[in-house]
Amino acid sequence: MKKIFVFTTLILLAGCSTQASRMADCQAQGISKDACYIAEQNRQTAIQNTALKQAMENATTQYAQTAKRVVHVRIKGIDIKIFPADKQGYIEGTTAFLDEDNADAQVYRKGIFTAIYYKRTHKVVLMRNGQIYGRTTV
């Protein structure tokens, strides 16, 4: 097993070249050292720009997925709508006050109702006057 791993690693590394070897190849073609250096710098800049562009696209896609997420449930006739990314909540169509926000849950209050959205388990618990009124899974 160890021999297979070493062999695979050698095959993968065989296609790699170092900056020094690329500079030597460039100079062997009769190109000046300064021109080879500039070409190498341009190559590295292009690689970094491509990686940065891809990272930005990934971040944009991830944010768009998170921003579009809406938790909309109905518990015993009470309509609850929560936008976790925007930290906004609505109970019965009226804005609810964000009372607590931590890694596990967001708590929204409006009048006698308190809505707790558990982020990790994706559950909503509705409390009325401090007592559990109902719960549901999103």
Please spell the DSSP secondary structure of 10-45, one letter per residue.
HHHHHT---HHHHHHHHHHTT--HHHHHHHHHHHHH
Q: Is residue 111 part of a domain?
A: yes
Structural domain boundaries enclosing 36: 18-65
Q: Are residues 59 and 82 in the same domain?
A: no
88 forms beta bridges with 83
How many domains would you assign to the chain?
A: 2
Residue 125 and residue 115 in contact, taking contact as beta carbons nearer than 8 Å: yes
* Whether residues 77 and 101 fall in one domain: yes
Which of residues 65, 92, 123 is at a domain's end? Answer: 65
Provide the pLDDT for residue 68.
62
Fill in the DSSP letter of residue 138. Answer: -
Does residue 84 contact residue 101 with C-beta atoms inside 8 Å? Answer: no
Residue 121 lies in a domain: yes
pLDDT, residue 67, reads 55
- Mark whether 75 and 130 lie in a shared domain: yes
pLDDT tens for the chain, 138 residues: list them: 666 655 555 555 555 678 888 888 888 888 888 888 888 899 899 999 899 889 888 887 777 665 568 899 999 999 999 998 889 999 999 999 999 999 999 999 999 999 999 999 999 999 999 999 999 998
Q: Both 81 and 128 in a single domain? A: yes
Which pLDDT does position 5 carry in this prediction?
59
Residue 101 burial (CB < 10 Å; 0-12/13-18/19+)?
Answer: middle
Q: What is the DSSP string of 45-94?
A: HHHHHHHHHHHHHHHHHHHHHHHH--EEEEETTEEEEEETTTTEEEETTE
Q: Is residue 86 located within the same domain as residue 120?
A: yes
Does residue 75 form part of some domain?
yes
pTM listed for this prediction: 0.53
Domain boundary among 6, 41, 65: 65
